[in-house]
Structures are given as C-alpha cells and as structure tokens.
Amino acid sequence: MDGTSNPSSRLAARVRRIKPSPSSAASERAAELRRQGRDIISFALGEPDFDTPEPIRRAAMDAIERGETRYTATAGTPALREAIAAKLQKENGLTYGAKEIIVTCGAKHAIFNALAVTLDAGDEVIVPAPYWVSYPDMTLANDGTPVIVRCGEEQGFKLRGPDLEAAITPKTKWLILNSPSNPTGATYSAAELRVVADVLLRHPQVMLLADDIYEHIRFDGTSPAERTHILAIEPQLRARTVLINGVSKTYAMTGWRIGYAAGPADLIAAMDMLQSQSTSNASSVSQAAALAALRGDQSFVPVWSDTYRQRVEHALQRVNAIPGLSCRTPGGAFYLFVNCGGLIGRQTAEGKTLQSDIDVTLYLLENAGVAMVAGSGFGLSPYFRISIATSMELIEEGCRRIAQAVAGLRT
C-alpha cells in the first residue's frame, strides 16, 4: 500500500449516487466525433437552433453600458420579478407577489433548489417516466428517493390517476409534472390535469413541482391564455405547488441561464436563503436580457412554435416510413420519442445483434453519423429521442441516413 486513498472515496455519497446527464453525454460524443473529422448530424441537443432575438441581445448590451454589472438581490431584480408576475397573471391567470418569485441560474437551478430546501433523507419524489433526465438525479443528489412511475406509450406517455394514487406513500414529498414533456412532447389536457389534481387533493402532504419550461412550444394552435394551468383548474393546490419556468426555450436563451420559480412565500424564502449561500443572484446582465424578453414583442414566439411544428410533421412522416420505427405525434416541445422496438434483435453487417436502445443509438451514430439519446436515459425503453431543433435540411438528411442504416440491418 502506498498510502494513497482511493480517489472515489473522497466523494460524498450524494455525488456517488448520480451520473452525468445522458443527453449532455450524447452531445459531447457527437462533438468529439466531429473533431475527429466525422460528418455527424446531431439530433441530441435540447436547445432551440434560433439565435436570441436582437432586441434581447441589445438590452443586455445596454445594461452593460448602464453599469448594471453588479450584484442584484439574490432573488432577482425587482423589475424582473415584476415582469414574471405580470407574465404569470396574463398568460396563466395566476397571481404571484414579489416574495413568491425567485430568479435562478436557469430552470434547472430552480428545480434543484426547490428539491434541496425540502428533501430529507428517504423522502420520495414521484417522477413519471419517460422523464427529463435530471429529475431522478437531482432527487438523489438531495438525498431523496425517486419513485419512477411508468407511463407507457399506450397511455400517451402520461400519468394516470390510479398509478399516481398507487405510488403515493406517507414519505412522498413531491410529484414532478412536466407538460409539454421532454422527451415525449406529451401534453396534458385540462381533463387529465383535473384527474391529477383530484388525487393530490386526497394527499395533502404531496407537493407539486410543475415544470412549464416548454409551455410556449405547442402544436395545437392555442395561445397560452387559452390553455389551462393545473393551478387555474385547482386553486387549492397553489399553497403546495412550485411552478418552474424560464426564458431558455421560449426565447432561445439557453446560454443566458435565467429561470425562475413561483410558489408559496416560505418555500421561496428558503430557496432565496440557499441561493444566498451558494450561487447568489443569476447574472445581472442576463436578468436585464430576460426582462426585455418578457416585456418585449412576443410575436415571434408562435412563429417559432409553428416552425417547430412543421419540422415535427416532416420528421414524423420520415421516421414513421422507416420499417421498425414508429412515433406518436407530440403535442409540444421539440422532440420525437421514437419507438425502436422493431430493431431490437436485428443484426448489423458485422453480425452484432442489437439488444437495447443503447445499441440502436450507437449503431446509428457509427453507421448513419446521426447522434440521438437512448430512451433508457429517460427511463423508458426501447426508444430514442431526436431533437428537431435543427434545420429542415438536416432533419431530412438525418432521417435519410437513419433509413439507409436501418435498411442495412439483417432480420
């Protein structure tokens, strides 16, 4: 023994429990292959391919010029919190005061901190699967226990009342609900939200984390005001709901890192305290940009949504024409969650049998030069997620390559 300790034993148990995000890993693998000179089309990314609109970029530059480069209040500038309150009122019919809103470094940070201030060891968090990759790991990182509830394709990838009821125990602290969903695009109707709300009303210890980050990317032609928020359907849940949103997806501002949470004042105060002892405020310049985004012209939002819809329709047609693959029509967000069950058991030209969706995505990366994320990372197999937040040309070419690679498989 040389006395050197095992490096992994330095790490806290909460860190040893978690793993890197599979979607980031897939994007990084695609970037690495590109650096090696391979021609890779990435369908792995979870961010808009549009640039942040010019007035928003300009607002950030103006803020720098005005010297808005110092610390702000931990919970965000009063102006931005007011703009968030105005947005929630106008678009969602929900009334929140400044003390019930906190600005965070992206929506991800808001979710993490909401869990961090509420979970004790062994507390359970219900996560309907397929889920956004980070929910279970964020739960584990905060000493909680994710309780995964399978929501299969046959139920539209949505949580059903009896399954929710069966998953609730005295230790349940949260239900996480994400509509429209990453990775499936599943979108809950008012009636489906009513069912979820009714179950929650029977279990007062369960809090609701409503992740609304994709709320503006919808394909049913409705405006936000026409859509019903679960809190508008059941106002009694307000006292135990934390609503999560941000500017990343709607305004193509993923790199600016501005998200927010709205919820009961005691929870928001606890998040504020944790944030004051960790990251402090989100970037002052980004907050100025987010303010311009929320207060500015919104006319491009439905236009972008329509662009995503056209891409989704095109990609769906292509994917559903490939033998062995099938995909439901998503209600929103910018992903297709493709069933690749028909490829499992088939053999590559080298004689390797595809045994899982991970094998399928590796095969397509190597043989079609198309990167995507395996369904196992989202808690449901055999599927893969493709992001359509890329140009129509790349969608067309990527689907052509997938079709060709699939045709090269032996039955």
Ligand X SMILES: Cc1ncc(COP(=O)(O)O)c(C=O)c1O
Among 53, 128, 130, 246, contact with ligand X (rule: CB under 6 A):
246
How far apart, in whole angstroms, are the C-alpha atoms of residue 228 and residue 31? 40
Q: Is 107 in the site for ligand X (CB under 6 A)?
A: yes
Among 43, 112, 132, 308, contact with ligand X (rule: CB under 6 A):
132
Q: Is 106 in the site for ligand X (CB under 6 A)?
A: yes
Among 27, 42, 248, 286, contact with ligand X (rule: CB under 6 A):
248
Q: Is the CB of residue 183 less than 8 Å from the CB of residue 213?
A: no
The beta-strand segments (E) located in 179-248 are 207-211, 241-246
CA 128 to chain centre: 13
Q: Which is nearer to ligand X, 46 or 375 (CB)?
A: 46
Q: Which is nearer to ligand X, 45 or 409 (CB)?
A: 45
Q: Is 136 in the site for ligand X (CB under 6 A)?
A: no
Applying CB under 6 A, which part among 62-70, 100-108, 317-325, 387-395 lies near ligand X? Answer: 100-108
Applying CB under 6 A, which part among 6-14, 80-88, 106-114, 308-316 lies near ligand X? Answer: 106-114
DSSP annotation of 334 reads T
Binding-site residue total for ligand X (CB under 6 A)? 13
Alpha helices in 180-244 (DSSP H): 190-201, 230-233
- Give the alpha-carbon dihedral of 220, 223, 101, 98, to 10 degrees: -170
Q: Which is nearer to ligand X, 77 or 178 (CB)?
A: 178
Q: Is 212 in the site for ligand X (CB under 6 A)?
A: no
Applying CB under 6 A, which part among 105-113, 166-174, 292-300, 390-398 lies near ligand X? Answer: 105-113
Order across the sheet with 335-339: list the strands.
335-339, 383-387, 373-374
Applying CB under 6 A, which part among 4-12, 103-111, 151-159, 219-227 lies near ligand X? Answer: 103-111
Using DSSP's 3-state secondary structure scheme, residue 238 falls into helix
Decide: residue 220, CB within 10 A, 0-12 exposed, 13-18 middle, 19+ buried: exposed
Using DSSP's 3-state secondary structure scheme, residue 103 falls into strand
Q: Is 102 in the site for ligand X (CB under 6 A)?
A: no
Q: Which is nearer to ligand X, 107 or 289 (CB)?
A: 107
Subset of residues 192 to 211 that bind ligand X, contact rule: CB under 6 A: 211
Q: Is 108 in the site for ligand X (CB under 6 A)?
A: yes
Applying CB under 6 A, which part among 101-109, 184-192, 218-226, 282-290 lies near ligand X? Answer: 101-109
Q: Is the CB of residue 323 less than 8 Å from the CB of residue 410?
A: no
Q: Is 361 in the site for ligand X (CB under 6 A)?
A: no
For the CB of residue 159, give the shortest distance to ligand X in the complex, in Å. 15
For the CB of residue 44, give the shortest distance to ligand X in the complex, in Å. 12
For the CB of residue 188, give the shortest distance to ligand X in the complex, in Å. 14
Q: Is 213 in the site for ligand X (CB under 6 A)?
A: yes
Q: Which residues contact 367 (CB under 8 A, 6 or more apart)?
A: 348, 405, 408
Query: Strands 370-371 and 41-42: what pairing?
Result: parallel
**Assigned token pair, 335:** 């992903």
Q: Is 224 in the site for ligand X (CB under 6 A)?
A: no
Decide: residue 226, CB within 10 A, 0-12 exposed, 13-18 middle, 19+ buried: exposed
How far apart, in whole angstroms, are the C-alpha atoms of residue 331 and residue 75? 33
How far apart, in whole angstroms, are the C-alpha atoms of residue 36 and residue 388? 24
Among 24, 145, 189, 254, contact with ligand X (rule: CB under 6 A):
254
Cis? peptide before 130, omega within 30° of 0: yes
The beta-strand segments (E) located in 86-201 are 101-104, 124-129, 145-150, 172-178
Q: Is 178 in the site for ligand X (CB under 6 A)?
A: yes
How far apart, in whole angstroms, are the C-alpha atoms of residue 245 and residue 251? 12
Residue nearest to ligand X (CB): 106
Subset of residues 306 to 335 that bind ligand X, contact rule: CB under 6 A: none
For the CB of residue 132, give the shortest distance to ligand X in the complex, in Å. 4
Binding mask 34-53 for ligand X (x = CB under 6 A): ------------x-------
Q: Which is nearer to ligand X, 281 or 367 (CB)?
A: 281
DSSP annotation of 74 reads T
Q: Which residue carries 């793993």 as its tokens? A: 19
For the CB of residue 131, give the shortest distance to ligand X in the complex, in Å. 9
What's the count of helices (H) and strands (E) in the chain, helices before strands?
14, 12
For the CB of residue 215, give the shortest distance to ligand X in the complex, in Å. 11
Q: What is the binding site for ligand X (CB under 6 A)?
A: 46, 106-108, 132, 178, 182, 211, 213, 246, 248, 254, 259
